[in-house]
Amino acid sequence: MKRSEKDKDKIIIQILITVTLYLLTTVASFLIQHLGFKEVNIVVFYILSVLFTSRFTKGYVYGIIASVMSILSFNFFFTVPLYTFKVDDTTYIFTFFVMFLSAISTSALTSKLIKANELSSKREKQSHLLSKITESLANTSDIDETARVAAKWLSSFLDCEVICFIPDKKNKIVEEIRVDQTGKEYVIGEEISEDSMQEVVSSFYSFPIVIGELTLCYFCLPIEINNLDGENKFLLYSIIMQITISMERVILIREKEAVRSEVELERFKSSLLRAISHDLRTPLTRIMGTAEMLQHEMTGEAEMELLKSISEDAGWLTRLVENILSFTRIQEGKLSIKIQNEAVEEIISKVLDWANKYYPDHHYKVELPEDVFFIPMNGKLIEQVLINLMGNAAEHTPISQEIELSVWQEGKKAWFKVADHGVGFVEEDLPKVFDMFFVSANQRVYKKHGLGLGLAICKTIVDFHGGEIFASNNAYGGATVKFYLNLEDE
């Protein structure tokens, strides 16, 4: 209703302008005729009147009406016979025709120029508005702030109340923000339910701001927004796009900050672990050396058992420290690999020497190819992998049970396997045993527990070699960890 009344008022104003200019022109024409000017001057005066009418009114209609009124007025008041619409002189018909065409063409050109100017001015204002909105949104740093700024701009542009809902999926609540026509922000119930939000959303002209699969907020506008003209609706869509881009920027910045914090935390963690490990290395070496030296001097059974326990614990801690140092080198990208053909027998011999030194009471079964077997690898790193696997097997296997270490060739792959007859893995833990820092919550063993680095480092070293590592439980009890290395570059 309000819109139709405004349109009627505009039409009345246009008509009043047209009639007023016509009357003024007619009066002025009588004046210049009285002063002795010829009829051609009156024709030019009427054409000028049509130009002014086109300038101060909108559309072609009023210019055409002014043209017709000017021709009729000129014929009625200034051609013989006066005060009639009869034409005795046929040359006036041509004059009327030229006058009509001139008035129509000038009216059309003037109207086009006015429309082009108005369109240019409108687009300039739209560009300025979008620029100001973009600038305001660029200064926001979180989703809530962006939503508040956006709601104020929408309210200012549309001259209406704007409701914004910001869902919090984690806490299952929704924050409601309202901005009235004056740009004043107020909150009605800081937290409402999602059901209440959906009721409001469904009764308004609403649109969500969605980034990926995440709905960040909803803007609700009066249903009359559907009646916006094409230009304003396009501008509204442009503003919505600016809001979406701004919120996406906020999310990207937030993710970037989270990644940066995580990287800094990992760097700090690696530095701390490396510092601690270096500090532990020297005293552990002394403890192990002293324990071994005392074992050769002591004769008492109790003392020998105590020294053996000290040596085992120191050996376990030394292996843990080596794993931590390897982990920090891997994290920092400082673990260099030099691949060359190495005899597998030498690697296995070093691993068995280590196992017999630190776990002398266990029984080991070794299966190797009959011929000398060369494998392209970094011997020191593969030795560390096998030591980690043998150490894990020994710690989880009773002394009476056997630990198997096997190497064989299968096609273009060299396989390594360590199998034990201990407690095995917890079935639900199998997909995660190679994850960094993973330690099973189900502690079924009664010996020392590490930091969850051993198997993770094994996987990293095998991956660096282009191989693959697997863990499984044996059908007859215990666990098996096996991996392969490629005998040829793939």
Q: Which residue has the tokens 């002025």?
A: 28
- What domains appear along the chain, each with residue ranges and CATH number? 2-128 (no CATH), 140-227 (3.30.450.280), 337-486 (3.30.565.10)
What letter represents residue 234's amino acid?
A: F
Distance CA 30, CA 158 (A): 50
- Helices and strands, counts by H and E, the chain: 11, 12
How far is residue 459's CA from residue 407's CA, in Å, rounded to a whole number? 18
Contact indicator for 467, 396 with CB cutoff of 8 Å: no
**CA dist., res. 39 & res. 43, Å (int):** 6
> Three-class SS of residue 237?
helix
Q: How many CA atoms lie within 13 A of 368 on its CB side?
A: 16
- DSSP letter at 35? T
Going from the C-alpha of 289 to that of each of 130, 285, 286, the distances in angstroms are 76, 6, 5
Residue with token string 């508040």: 148
Are 415 and 482 in contact, with CB atoms under 8 Å apart?
yes
Q: Would you give per-residue pLDDT tens digits along the chain (490 residues)? A: 445 676 788 888 888 988 898 899 888 888 888 788 777 788 788 878 877 887 777 766 787 788 788 878 887 888 778 888 777 767 777 766 776 776 677 667 777 777 788 778 777 877 887 888 888 888 888 888 888 888 888 888 888 888 888 887 666 677 778 888 776 766 655 567 777 788 888 888 888 888 887 888 888 888 888 788 777 888 888 888 888 888 888 888 888 888 888 878 777 766 766 666 666 767 777 777 777 777 777 777 777 777 777 877 777 677 777 767 766 666 666 666 678 999 999 999 999 998 988 788 889 999 999 888 999 998 888 998 999 899 889 888 888 889 999 999 999 999 999 999 888 888 888 888 888 777 776 555 444 555 667 788 889 889 888 899 999 999 888 899 999 999 876 5
Q: Which strands, in side-by-side order, build the sheet including 413-419?
A: 363-367, 402-410, 413-419, 479-486, 468-473
Angle between the N-to-C axes of helices 91-138 and 61-78, in degrees from 0 to 180, rounded to the nearest 10: 150
- Of 485, 455, 482, 452, residue with least CA distance to 469: 482
